Amino acid sequence: MKAKIKRILKILSAEGYFIFEKEKERKDIQDFLNGKEFDDDLINKRVKEYLKTIGLLKINGEPSIKGLKVKETGRLPVREEGKYKIWFTNKDTLLKTKILHFKRLAPERPPFEKIRQHIAPLPFRFPTENYYLSVAQDIHIQEITLKTKPDECYGTIDERESQLTLEWYWQDLESSYYVFSGTIDGKAVMKNRIDSPIDLKKDILTIFSDWDSELEKLKITFNDLTQNDEKLQFRKSIRKEIPTIGEVEFTDIPLIPIDEDNAVHWRNWLLLYYLDEKFYNQHDWDILLNEVNNKDGFMNQKEALQELTADTFKQMLLTENNKHKKSKAFWHLFAADDLNPDINSVTKQKS
């Protein structure tokens, strides 16, 4: 199952004093942690002491958890602070309050009265973990850590608002990612994937009330299926508007019958569909019935599908309505016996 959710984000901006921690690529440190040391022992000793100071090496010289990550990725957390302009969402239904981009500003020293008049605590509760959307000709970073405490974020709010487009892609219920587009500070946002932390298995329950969490399939009535492919493949594409999220476009949603009656109805339709294609004798019928009954979509109502023989199904075709008597399925099931004189003669002898 795949899903795509597209929505427009309202973006606010502010200027203030912040402390951030972001990842910076340091291949030299990565190489050193992977055993590529200098020829000079004194330099090696000083590098190791430095790596212990910043927490990449333990006291015994072994890599720490943080060091193992740098050893693998080559990206080192770097702390910086100063005056910045930030772009962020505020109480968004999906992202909540989250910084999406920041830009370093030159410090200014206006008169004290002006500072006192405009600078105040920002009325936003920024989280510790935030995103950094790279723009054109910018460094590639995806996440930043805000080290400033929420109640110590001072600055001024920009009255102008802007917008970004957010596309949220689901990959089954195991993972999902965001793709942002639009402009920040007059520059195009690079369309990079950013992993989403949202628990999809919990979120889908708010979208589909008939979602089966154990089987991870959507329970549906047979009459809600309008295409033959949906009935054959047990999969359906659905477009839905969710007030708190936006427009959701699902493809290949796995389906199961909502109850036993719908399972029987669905199974019988499948039998008629396959009977419509060719003649079936008793042996072929047994194989067909077994294959249909054992389809994955029927596993939850399998017991309800077992009580059916070829004679029972024939009787259903004879008595249900006239349209079946005129169908290919009707003749493909009955003609096999009519055209088999050996079976007919054995039947007459027994009678």
pLDDT at 75: 84
Q: Which residue has the tokens 């090496």?
A: 57
| Separation CA 162–CA 185 (nearest Å) | 10
CA dihedral 258, 259, 262, 264 (to 10 degrees): 140
Where are any strands of DSSP class E within the chain?
Answer: 2-25, 75-92, 96-104, 120-121, 129-131, 143-146, 154-171, 175-184, 187-188, 193-195, 211-212, 217-220, 235-242, 246-257
Q: Is a pLDDT exceeding 50 seen at residue 343? A: no
pLDDT at 335: 62
Q: pLDDT for 10-55, tens place per residue?
A: 999 999 999 998 888 888 999 999 999 988 999 999 999 999 998 8
| Separation CA 75–CA 205 (nearest Å) | 37
The helix or strand, by DSSP H or E, that contains position 29, with its residue range, turns out to be helix 27-33
* Alpha-carbon torsion (89, 93, 97, 98), positive or negative: negative
Q: Is a pLDDT exceeding 50 seen at residue 176? A: yes
Q: pLDDT for 95-140, tens place per residue?
A: 999 999 999 998 765 544 454 456 788 999 999 999 999 887 676 7
Give the residue-averaged pLDDT of 332-338.
59
| Separation CA 73–CA 63 (nearest Å) | 14
Range picked from 96-110, 187-201, 238-252 for highest mean pLDDT: 187-201
The helix or strand, by DSSP H or E, that contains position 342, with its residue range, turns out to be helix 341-350
Q: Is a pLDDT exceeding 90 seen at residue 142? A: no
CB 271 within 8 A of CB 287: no
Q: Is a pLDDT exceeding 90 seen at residue 341? A: no
